[in-house]
Amino acid sequence: MTDRKCAACGKITDRNELIKITRDAHYNVFVNPDTKIFGRSAYLCYNKTCVENAFKKNKLQKSLKVSIPDEVKGKLLNEF
C-alpha cells in the first residue's frame, strides 16, 4: 500500500495524488515529483488551502526538521 498523509490536513490518500517535498542528507529541500531522491519527506494535497496551512502553522518545517527556503515556498504557493 502506498498511502501517505497530508502534513497540513491529515487526509490519507495515495502518494501519487500528493505533492512530495523531500529533504536530502545535506539539508537541501526539493519539491520532488519522482522518487529518486532519498531523505525525509512530507506530503501535501494539491490544493492551495493545504499548501497555505502548511506554511502558516509551520507543519512542513516540523515534518522535515529544517527551515523551508523561500524559493521552495514560492514554488509551492505559485504552482499549486
Distance CA 40, CA 25 (A): 8
Beginning with the edge strand found earlier in the chain, give each strand of the sheet holding 40-45 in spatial order: 29-31, 18-23, 40-45
pTM over 0.95, yes/no: no
Residue whose C-alpha is closest to residue 60's, from 3, 18, 26? 18
Query: Which cell goes with 53?
Result: 496551512
CATH number at residue 49: 3.30.1230.10
Q: What is the pLDDT along the chain (80 residues), one digit of tens a residue?
A: 589 999 999 999 998 899 999 999 999 999 987 767 889 999 999 999 999 999 999 999 999 999 999 999 999 989 87
Could you give the number of structural domains in the chain? 1
Host domain of residue 57: 3-79
- Strand intervals (E) in the chain: 3-5, 12-14, 18-23, 29-31, 40-45
